[in-house]
Amino acid sequence: MKAEIITIGDEILRGEIVDSNKARIAERLLLLDVETHFQVSVRDHPEDMRHAFRTAADRADVVVVSGGLGPTRDDRTAEVIAATFGRKLIVHGPSVAAIRRFFERAGRPMADTNLKQAMIPEGAEVLPNPVGTAPGFTLRAGRARFFCLPGVPRELDRMLEEQVLPRIEADRAAAAGQGSGRVVRARLLRTFGIGESDLEALVSDIARRPPAGGVEVELGFRTSFPDNLLRPVVRAPSAGEAEAALERLCRELRTRLGALVYGEGEQTLEAVVVRELARAAPPTRPGRPPAWLAVAESCTGGLLAERITSVPGASAVFRGGVVAYSNEAKRDLLGVPADLLERHGAVSDPVVRAMAAGALGRFAADLAVAITGISGPTGGTPEKPVGLVHIALARSGPTGTSVDTASFVFPFDRARHRRLTVQVALDWIRRALLGVDLALPRWAPHARGGTAQPRAPAAGSTGGAA
């Protein structure tokens, strides 16, 4: 099955917005193993739209159209698709009623133009929109089945899930003869701290496993800096078998990869950290969650705090942070001794250790992370090159404070240096909460042209009282 995606809107063609709908539709279709061969965007102009619809009807089996279903004059998808394939536009009674109900529920007056959204090409099947006014529709033209959907991401997502994917699956089952179709199920495992080729090597035997009992397994890999993502895909004769096999496969992969897997799907590392903090019972207050976190940042300049506080509910676990961009701030707000700064410099193991211990104390936290480094583009020396970063994790325990530290040289530009450094810091917090080793076992980041080198002391625990 070949798919084509068509998105409609002048603002896309003028480059005013980066259209992410094409990627989200393609990703969903791939869950059913349907590959997108063409992505096309056109203006709200009937001639261009007609050209795109006709071309797609000739070369694709599934065409997903997004946009152009709104109430304004510029929204022309229904009208143009009807004209392109020689159909009339008709009023769809149930959609008129649904649109009226939508406005009643919202307590807003309905404009007459909204009724335009109930005009559907003759013979099309209406796809209800549970979260907006514009219904979608599906019709067959040329070799293709068209699905016309609204461009609002929330509405698009819901309708893809509920209306489009099941129909594609049913079409395929019907084409293959009742009941004999193949069902595909997939998930996405997010890993951090391992390079793409090392990740592949760790699971290569699973990827090469031959089909058994009609169940095939495939592993996909991709990089989303600084993470590496693993996509297990299962094909089986029935949905039940596919789901059971996928569940078994994911359990096996998680057992194999251990703490390298931090989450699934769209989960972020900061969301996992906030969740684990909320669950944790710190050793100084056993049985009384949550654990409290504080941070001290120099070169990452607030990015670590920002990532954590972007998670709703972070205020229950996050006490605060200091962005210590000057030596004086490190001294006055974190209590780093002036002579440490003088003797070792701001980017050093003793200073990052003192920053973490200082943050732990000042914020009365259970865990504190500190970062100091040189993100560039300037500021390096032969001994302390651009890219050098020290990270420390301090924990308060019943017998005092322990601090782990490590340093790295990350040879990336300023923005990616900061992103990668923050990801290491978040991962350390997660690992500390899970009670596993902080060390990054197979560190080889995955960005093109870059390799990170653990610096002596290599990413290891140097725990002890601070």
Residues in 26-65 that interact with a copy of itself by CB under 8 A = 26-30, 35-43, 45, 48, 51-52, 55, 59
Site mask for a copy of itself (CB under 8 A), range 447-466, x = bound:
--------------------
**Which residue, 84, 76, 65, is CA-closest to 22?**
65
> What is the nearest approach in angstroms of a copy of itself to the Cβ of residue 298?
9
Q: Are strands 367-373 and 2-8 parallel, antiparallel or unpaired?
A: unpaired
User: CA neighbours within 13 Å on the CB side: how many for 395?
Assistant: 26
Binding characters for a copy of itself, 361-400, by CB under 8 A (x = yes):
-xxx-----------xxxx---------------------
Taking the complex as a whole, how short is the minimal distance between the CB of residue 55 and a copy of itself, in angstroms?
A: 7
Rounded Cα distance between 62 and 189, Å, is 28
Options 190-198, 299-307, 404-412, 429-437: segment touching a copy of itself (CB under 8 A): 299-307
CB 246 within 8 A of CB 234: yes
Minimum distance of a copy of itself from residue 186's CB (angstroms): 12
**Measured from the CB atom, is 246 or 355 closer to a copy of itself?**
355
Q: Of the candidates 332, 400, 453, 462, which one interacts with a copy of itself according to CB under 8 A?
A: 332
418 binding a copy of itself? (CB under 8 A): yes
Q: Which stretch binds a copy of itself (CB under 8 A): 82-90, 112-120, 356-364, 386-394?
A: 356-364
Question: Binding of a copy of itself at residue 1 (CB under 8 A)?
Answer: no
Per CB under 8 A, the segment of 122-130, 256-264, 279-287, 304-312 that binds a copy of itself is 304-312
CA-nearest of 314, 270, 319, 279 to 295 is: 319
Task: Report the residue from 110, 329, 444, 447 that binds a copy of itself according to the rule CB under 8 A.
Answer: 329
For 434, other C-beta atoms within 10 Å of its C-beta total 14
CB of 103 to a copy of itself, least distance (A): 13
Region 177-216 residues binding a copy of itself, contact defined as CB under 8 A: none
Q: Which residues contact 344 (CB under 8 A, 6 or more apart)?
A: 350, 351
Q: Which of residues 108-167 bind a copy of itself (CB under 8 A)?
A: none
Are the CB atoms for 366 and 292 separated by under 8 Å?
A: yes
Burial of residue 437, with CB atoms counted within 10 A of its CB: 0-12 exposed, 13-18 middle, 19 or more buried: middle
Min separation Cβ 174 and a copy of itself, Å = 26
Looking up tokens 């649109």 gives 99
Question: Considering the complex, what minimum distance in angstroms separates the CB of residue 302 from a copy of itself?
Answer: 3
Measured from the CB of residue 132, what is the shortest distance to a copy of itself in angstroms?
Answer: 11
Rounded Cα distance between 182 and 392, Å, is 50
Considering only 325, 344, 345, 434, the residue that binds a copy of itself (CB under 8 A) is 325
Of 211 and 220, which has the nearer Cβ to a copy of itself?
A: 220
Identity (one letter) of the amino acid at 239?
A
Which residue stretch of 137-145, 168-176, 232-240, 305-313 sits at the interface with a copy of itself (rule: CB under 8 A)? 305-313
Q: Is the peptide bond before 210 cis (omega within 30 degrees of 0)?
A: no
- Closer of 122 and 332 to a copy of itself (Cβ): 332
Closest contact distance (angstroms) between CB of 405 and a copy of itself is 21
Q: Which is nearer to a copy of itself, 224 or 453 (CB)?
A: 224
Regarding 328 and contact with a copy of itself (CB under 8 A), the answer is yes
Contacting a copy of itself within 222-281 (CB under 8 A): 222, 224
Is the CB of residue 290 less than 8 Å from the CB of residue 316?
yes
Q: How far is the CB of 100 from a copy of itself (least distance, A)?
A: 19
Q: Measured from the CB of residue 122, what is the shortest distance to a copy of itself in angstroms? A: 28
Closest C-alpha to 361, from 427, 296, 276: 296
**In the Cβ-directed half-sphere of 145, how many Cα atoms lie within 13 Å?**
14
Q: What is the size of the binding site for a copy of itself (CB under 8 A)?
A: 74
Nearest to 136 by CA among 25, 15, 43: 25
Query: 91 vs 316, which CB is nearer to a copy of itself?
Result: 316
**CA-angle at 238, arms to 236 and 241, nearest 5°:** 65
Integer Cα distance of 307 and 321 in angstroms = 12
CB of 295 to a copy of itself, least distance (A): 8
Q: How far is CA 196 from CA 103, 222, 228, 426, in A?
A: 50, 8, 6, 20
Residue 448 Ramachandran class (φ > 0 left, ψ -120 to 50 alpha, else beta) = beta
Spatial separation of the C-alpha atoms in residues 383 and 172, rounded to whole Å: 62
